[in-house]
Amino acid sequence: MTLSEKYKDEIAEILSRYPVKRSALIPLLYLAQREPGYVTEAAMTEIAGLLKLTPPQVYETATFYTMLNLKKVGKHHIQVCKSLMCALVGSDTVIGWLRTKLGIAPGETTADGLFTLSAVECLAACGTAPMMQINDDYYERLTEEKVDKILADLRTAGTSPLKSGPYMWPESAR
Amino acid sequence: MPKHELILLKNMMQPGYTGSLADYEKTGGYQALRNALGKMAPTDVTAKVMKSGLRGRGGAGFPTGVKWGFLPKDYQGPRYLCCNADESEPGTFKDRQLMERDPHQVLEGIVLACYAIGAQSAYIYIRGEMVLGSKILEHAIGEARAAGYIGKNILGTGITADVWVHRGAGAYICGEETALLESLEGKRGLPRVKPPFPATHGLYNKPTVVNNVETLANLPHILSRGPEWFASIGSPPKSTGTRVFCVSGHVKRPGNYELPMGVTTRELVFEYAGGMRSDKPLKAFIPGGASAPFLTPEHLDVKLDFESVAAAGSMLGSGGVTVMEEGTSMVWAALRLMEFFYHESCGKCSPCREGSSWLVQTMRRIIAKRGQMQDLETLTDLCKNIAGRTVCAFGDAEVSPIMSTLKHWRHEYVALIHEADAANLIRPESAGTRH
Ligand code: SF4
Ligand code: FES
């Protein structure tokens, strides 16, 4: 099914937000990525048609941004922040745990296609480091126990209650 | 330091405060908007903001009212407001809290800014990873629209200001205002050559203002309580108001602390953030996000305001204060940040694109104990050839970790190189081997 058949109303709503069509490009690429987890070439061609762009123009934008995947990733994309503030309090250790527990290195996907591991740059959660993002959710103040629980939850339920809610840190005034 | 009044974090610190429209209105929310729209001339709003001394909270610290004043007065076509919510400066995590915990405070600021500059559309450019934040904002926009605070004919005044959330997709450079505009136009986020500035040629080449989340969140308070009140807080006349300082690294209680500008790092770290994590002495800190040069314990009593931090050789930037304890390798710390900058260089200009790769390689060689003394000259030369020679301020930012650690902790670099020399004496066959 094409994107316009599948997301007709949503596409119309997105287009209505901008006076210039091309601005809808990233929102539409997100839409294309929603189900398969990555953007296919067919989707990019279709989006080009929708926005009156050439396919290379779409490709040019899509390749610039780290959150737009051009190839398949695991069902749960684990991204551990490795920037300085997280590294100061143990993000390299977290990556080490995940390497051992999942048997993959950053950049790799488990054979069952369940997990992809990535080491990424700062995710604006440095006060609750070490932290990681899995798909749309943040997991913060990680300990080995917590990481185990999260992986188990994702394996069994597909989601984990340990994900962060609206951010506040510290949670109370001094 | 006497206990001071919270402004931006006040609502969210109330027990049970959810950030809903009803909760926000109970605290007096949207009163500033009611009192301004149609009752005060847009130029009066700008005048008040100018008088308050409010300066941008994103990093550059440019006076907000002055920025608004650059828009052409007689231009008839559309104008735009962009709320910069691309928070990606390592060490910074305040906008996330402001948006997720009290979204209407940000929205009220956005509509006030739209009114002042005559914009009918505003886009909140939020970093793509903050999915929860974008959902919370979208929900809040829905509530505000239904209540008549956003949209067409706001509160029956005939004024229009529509607000949309636009998610970025993972690129640090999109926090640079012209890269943000390019990205919002559906292109690669490459900074534009300035001039022209966004004030005249911004989004879709139309007059545009880009303001940070925290900057905008201050507006309702400035309008309700007056510019004189605001200008009396902090380090007047040039650094007025509070900052939400983000404390990270080796402290007991990292997190967001809203304090008047001019608080010292010593107070921030030892009175608010609980002191050092393992009670080891503080060795180094960064006062304003990854782009700000490192400072030493000698600078602990420098006031955290724009002028004082600049005078100490760094910058207040985004308000991200990262603390490092004794025992942290400064060469390692600088390399971590350099790897970040190398990853995030947009590639538009060669000093930054090529230089960042050289810097990372040279730093890695030194850390791996394969460095030579001349590498230190190479680092300095590279940094000098990047800073001030690039399209955007990223070039100046990326050299600051190396330049400042070389300045204060050169001996750590030298020690690593001596270890390399010693290793080469033991293994003569590897001498001169470079990778
Ligand atoms: S300085 Fe770096 S980030 Fe800025 S435009 Fe040049 S290459 Fe891009
Ligand atoms: S350094 Fe990891 S979230 Fe900022």
Q: Does B344 touch chain A if contact means CB atoms closer than 8 Å?
A: yes
Give the phi and the psi of residue B349 in degrees, each rounded to 5: -115, 145
Expressed in angstroms and rounded, the spacing between residue A135 Cα and the centre of ligand 2 is 17
- Asked if A82 contacts A97 with a C-beta cutoff of 8 angstroms, the reply is no
A133 alpha carbon, closest ligand: 2
Q: Does B290 touch chain A if contact means CB atoms closer than 8 Å?
A: yes
Chain A residue numbers with beta carbons less than 8 Å from the beta carbon of B78 are 19
Nearest CA to ligand 1 atom 6: B349
Inspect the interface and report whether the beta carbons of A124 and B253 lie closer than 8 Å.
no
Q: Is the pLDDT of residue B395 over 90?
A: yes
The answer to whether the Cα torsion of B176, B180, B181, B182 is positive or negative is: positive
Compute the mean pLDDT over every residue in chain B, rounded to the nearest whole number. Answer: 95
For A130-149, the pLDDT digits (tens) are 999 999 999 999 999 999 99
Expressed in angstroms and rounded, the spacing between residue B347 Cα and the centre of ligand 1 is 6
**Which residue of B341, B394, B399 sits with most ligand 1 atoms within 8 Å of its CB, as the best mutation to test the pocket?**
B394
B94 alpha carbon, closest ligand: 2
What pLDDT does residue B422 have? 85
Name the residue facing A166 among B132, B169, B344 (closest C-beta): B132
Q: Does B367 touch chain A if contact means CB atoms closer than 8 Å?
A: no
Q: Does B202 touch chain A if contact means CB atoms closer than 8 Å?
A: no
Window 102-131 of B: residues touching A by CB (8 A cutoff) are 121, 127-131
Q: Is the pLDDT of residue A172 over 90?
A: no
The residue among B161, B142, B96, B122 whose CA lies nearest residue B318 is B96
Inspect the interface and report whether the beta carbons of B129 and A67 lie closer than 8 Å.
yes
What pLDDT does residue B427 have? 61
Substitution target from B7, B12, B96, B213 for chain A, most A beta carbons within 10 A: B96
Provide the shortest C-alpha distance from residue B70 to chain A (in Å).
23
Q: Is the pLDDT of residue A174 over 60?
A: no
pLDDT band per the 50, 70, 90 thresholds, residue B261: very high
Name the residue facing B255 among A17, A25, A170 (closest C-beta): A170
Residue of chain B with shortest Cα separation from A26? B186
Substitution target from A88, A137, A141, A142 for chain B, most B beta carbons within 10 A: A88
Cα distance between residue B287 and residue B309, in whole Å: 8
Cα distance between residue B375 and residue B377, in whole Å: 5
What pLDDT does residue B4 have? 83
Q: Is the pLDDT of residue B207 over 80?
A: yes
**In sequence order, what are the beta bridge partners of A159?**
none
| Angle, CA A85 vertex, CA B181 and CA B261 arms, to 5° | 70
Q: How do B80-85 and B121-126 pair as beta strands?
A: parallel
Number of H helices, E strands in chain A: 8, 4
CA end-to-end distance (rounded Å), chain A? 55
What residue type is assigned to position B356 of the chain? S
For B294-338, the pLDDT digits (tens) are 999 999 999 999 999 999 999 999 999 999 999 999 999 999 999
What pLDDT does residue B430 have? 52
Residue whose token pair is 């939850």:
A153
3-state secondary structure of B51: helix
Give the whole-number percent of chain A exceeding pLDDT 70: 99
3-state secondary structure of B260: strand
Cα distance between residue B287 and residue B151, in whole Å: 39
Write the DSSP string, B240-255.
ESEEEEEEEESBSS-E
Residue of chain A with shortest Cα separation from B401? A84
| Mean of pLDDT values over B168-173 | 95
Q: Is the pLDDT of residue B435 over 50?
A: no
Q: How would you class B3 by CB atoms within 10 Å of its CB: exposed for 0-12, middle for 13-18, buried for 19 or more?
A: exposed
For A63-107, the pLDDT digits (tens) are 999 999 999 999 999 999 999 999 999 999 999 999 999 999 999
Chain B residue numbers with beta carbons less than 8 Å from the beta carbon of A138 are 132
Give the phi and the psi of residue B71 in degrees, each rounded to 5: -65, 140
CA end-to-end distance (rounded Å), chain B? 52
H or E segment and range at residue B323: strand B320-325
- Other Cβ atoms less than 10 A from the Cβ of B67: the count is 23
Q: How would you class B385 by CB atoms within 10 Å of its CB: exposed for 0-12, middle for 13-18, buried for 19 or more?
A: middle
What pLDDT does residue B428 have? 54
The residue among B220, B303, B292 whose CA lies nearest residue B259 is B303
Chain B residue numbers with beta carbons less than 8 Å from the beta carbon of A88 are 248-250, 322, 324, 328, 333
CA atoms within 13 A on the CB side of B168: 32
- Asked if B242 contacts B217 with a C-beta cutoff of 8 angstroms, the reply is no
Ligand 2 near A62 CB (within 6 A): no
pLDDT band per the 50, 70, 90 thresholds, residue B417: very high
For A29-52, the pLDDT digits (tens) are 999 999 999 999 999 999 999 999
H or E segment and range at residue B395: helix B394-426
DSSP annotation of B212:
E
What pLDDT does residue B408 have? 98
For B113-143, the pLDDT digits (tens) are 999 999 999 999 999 999 999 999 999 999 9
| Mean of pLDDT values over A58-63 | 97
Q: Does B1 touch chain A if contact means CB atoms closer than 8 Å?
A: no
Query: pTM value?
Result: 0.96
Inspect the interface and report whether the beta carbons of A126 and B93 lie closer than 8 Å.
yes
Inspect the interface and report whether the beta carbons of B322 and A126 lie closer than 8 Å.
yes
pLDDT band per the 50, 70, 90 thresholds, residue B1: very low
Peptide bond into A27 cis (omega under 30): no
What pLDDT does residue B429 have? 55
What pLDDT does residue A171 have? 86
